Structure 1
Amino acid sequence: MRDELSGLWNVYGEVFCQHSHQLLAWAYQDVRHRFVPGLDEPDMTGLLAEAMENRLNDPSTPDAYLHYTIGDQMPRSPAGQLGNKRLRLDITVIRSGIRPRLSFIFEAKRLRTNSLPIGKYVGSGGMGDFISGRYAGEAPEAAMIGLIENQTLQYWQSELQRAFVEDSKSPSPCLSVISELAEVSIIQAIAGELESTHQRGSGLPLRLFHIFLEC
């Protein structure tokens, strides 16, 4: 299965990544005005996933997007977890028309000083689950979304950089960094994006994108 996925990603991966980013950018444009104080993370990701699906159903959306579907809070069952104990993936873009199907997963975390610090973004339930393989275990690429509730893009970029530096100095680092944070531009509509590469427990590397959306 790994070899099949790797081969398919070599063929479809670059465009799949760009299209997944574009769907997110369109959705953010469509629902940003609905990101009002008091919304929790599932509310925000639910609005984004719904807007992405709406874009796929819009006749004006290019035909290149006909092979995609959107998953909202899709369940996964690692280690035999069943029922309500299953993991829930925030937003999944699924590339159909091929076997096995490819998935590009977005995991979102709210960012607010004091109550929602960068530690929640890099830790369990966020980056930590990607690095451990609980999320997107065999996919070579995935993305984190930082939902900025206060401060600036630059502030949260620096907080993420600080978290990487602190982890590298820890006697028991958790982020398994192969390539440090670097600027990347997948599509022009998403500014301030970063990327990093991590070694997962399975031995497979993961290219992880860091997208920041002001809310």
Structure 2
Amino acid sequence: LYNPAKVTAAPQSYADLWDPKYRGKVGLVDILHLQNMETAAIVAGGDHHDYEPGKRKLMELRSLDVKVYPSNEALAAALKSEEVWLSLMWLARGFMWKKSGIPVEHAVPSEGATSICFEMAVPKNARNREGGLGYLNAALDAKAQGAFADRMGYAPTVTDATLPQDLARQISLTPEQQAKLRTPDYEYIAKNQVALIDFWNKEFKR
């Protein structure tokens, strides 16, 4: 996300966060520490299967007076006050913030974006299986998907939900951007999460 009044040319790469001209104006949110570390690793020439190269890049960002906020809400306040001009954040969250009056636009980096998925399911031993399946079907209805997209900024899960052109422009990815989407390496994260959090808290944030 970026403030178009302060960052007049839309960022093209994750590496733009390290541009010295944005010293003190880059903000990260604490709860997205894994995504922040993945981004730094990619900028360092690594990838989403190994965050180690990103540690050095994060320390470089620290030397550029990056700000770290404890919550999405705190980051939103910093963007609204223009304390922060650039940040890493989910596209949908930026959409909601923009609707609320926060001066932000989104840019998809040339390296490709990281995807996020939310799931719903009916447990095998559900007491009301039919009701659960009915809820899932209702949630996947094209009209419901369109309303959810308009309210929350998430692109529809189903292919038969038609969005107004302006809404689609704000929350959709082009076919080329979709082709570059990364799925987090959850196996790597599970094996290394404790060490990664330790680095984030004890070295980067201290």
Q: Which range, TM-score by smaller chain?
A: 0.3 to 0.5
TM-score normalised by L of structure 1? 0.33
Greater per-residue strand proportion: 1
> TM-score under structure 2 normalisation?
0.34
Greater share of helix residues, 1 or 2? 2
